[in-house]
Structure 1
């Protein structure tokens, strides 16, 4: 089974494991022919926190189709992930929550080939189930005395929040700015906040733990998620195969069920 990596990886080079190709021979260049029958591959995917649940399922599906390959994820805010990628953390695939973050990795020469969009997402407003502050709109959440939580400006969900505020003509003053959308959701579900701005996929995942308030200008801040294999991928063949799986029918079906839109 897959293991999820800590959010901050040690950036020292890891000793290289014995490698093997995926089913179908997509990674045959990774190993000598005599090793392919017995060796295993651990594919490391750096993924935005908002993709966590969908990618867990995608990882299981990919493993089922590629015997000998184990997928493990480093899940964190996209701004943290790209810093690790640029610093040389060992990883095979990168899937942040917006294009500008991927552009940073491309500019640093960390990406192999051209990143490809695979999903979109928009923000919504969530409150605790009993909605103690009586919030029915973003304007209510922006009112004085309301404990609103949002993502920090440097992360994709924070940039989407700023775009949403501009489109709505509101000045938002969050009491807390978090490094990932899952942290925002946690503040709301724990009762520490009256409201939080999260992706619609996170609100759906939370289920009855939150109440959702639709936003009039949500479509003004659409995040597009790109994916790419990394230039220093330890397993370039399986990395490319994983990218294709995410973009393929099965991966897109999982993402659609999780609430993501098509790119």
Structure 2
């Protein structure tokens, strides 16, 4: 074999080796790129085609139960593969749970004060935003047999009245209204959330309770509502926030977006909430 032929064979072998190496590098690069995309989708809760998937855990004030349950169902229908779980209760109890380490992605409180318990202790992924407001109303037995027509009537002797505990937003608002009207009363019980206070009237264990308008409306014909002017000075703002330790950030953000959307606001205002 001539020197020229041997040189030509060496060059061909080199080119084939280089080509094989290039193919391996391209394959590794492609796998690396694919893995990065998958990791990104996993981190945001988005799967193929940008679809949402995952679970969002929402801690929400008891007065939001009916509205948020409806919005949760709509969210899951609009985003197959997602799940919304709720924990409803007194805002102060929920805040204590979150600061104590309870797993939650979103917190919707019935007052800025209870939201601050969480933001001061753990912080949030974004600034809390007021999404609705709520006003108080007196809930009486159906037909209002005790003829309650004002906040002052609640101070009548023999009338069994229930209030939310003062640490709960509805209780703090009720006390503010009572102080403004100069009414002094001793309730038969202080309840840890607004639903518990309303239930006392529904079960006829109390003659009246100071609750939110939304709760009176949700109860239907089980109670009768009585408006009072002092409630205008004790309106509660409801803030919502994405929590710092949220597990499914994309899903949590999407649920908050629904709550604040025109559709979400229609559900909330139809339940008796006031626009922010």
TM-score by length of 1: 0.85
- Residue aligned with 1:60, SS: helix
When the two chains are superposed, the root-mean-square deviation of aligned CA atoms in Å is: 2.1
- Work out the CA distance in 2 between the residues paired with 1:226 and 1:36: 32
**CA–CA distance in 2 between the matches of 1:67 and 1:154?**
39
Residue 71 of structure 1: aligned partner: 84
CA distance in structure 2 between the aligned counterparts of 1:144 and 1:183, rounded to whole angstroms: 23
- Please say if residues 59 and 108 of structure 2, whose CA atoms lie closer than 8 Å, have aligned partners that are also in contact: yes
The structure-2 alpha-carbon separation of the partners of 1:54 and 1:39, relative to structure 1 and needing over 3 Å to count, comes to closer
Contact 2:55 2:251 in 1 (8 A): no
Q: Aligned partners of 1:28 and 1:59: how far apart in 2? A: 23
- Structure 2 runs not aligned, ≥5 long: 1-39
For 2:177, the equivalent position in structure 1 comes to 164
Contact 2:44 2:249 in 1 (8 A): no
Number of equivalences: 237
Which one has a bigger Cα radius of gyration? 2
Distance 1:178 1:210, change over 3 A: same
More divergent stretch after superposition (152-161 vs 102-111):
102-111
**Comparing 43-52 with 31-40, which one deviates more in the overlay?**
31-40
User: Given the superposition, is the C-alpha separation of residues 33 and 92 from structure 1 closer, same or farther in structure 2, using an over 3 Å criterion?
Assistant: closer
Shift of 1:133: 2.7
The 2-side partners of 1:28 and 1:36 are apart by: 10
Does residue 118 in structure 1 map to residue 131 in structure 2?
yes
Asked if 1:46 is matched to 2:69, the reply is: no
Q: Residue 9 of structure 1 aligns with which residue?
A: none
1:58 aligns to 2:68 (yes or no): no
Question: Is 1:240 paired with 2:249?
Answer: no
- Give yes or no for contact 1:28–1:237 (8 Å, CA) kept in 2: no
Match of 2:9 in 1: none
Paired with 1:137 and 1:66, the residues of 2 have a C-alpha distance of: 46
1:24 is matched with none
Separation in structure 1 between the aligned mates of residue 173 and residue 196 of structure 2, nearest angstrom: 16
Q: Offset of 1:79 from its aligned partner?
A: 0.8
**Residue of structure 1 in register with 2:224 after alignment:** 211
1:88 corresponds to: 101
Mean alpha-carbon deviation: is it higher for 155-164 or for 35-44?
35-44
Structure with greater helix share of residues: 2
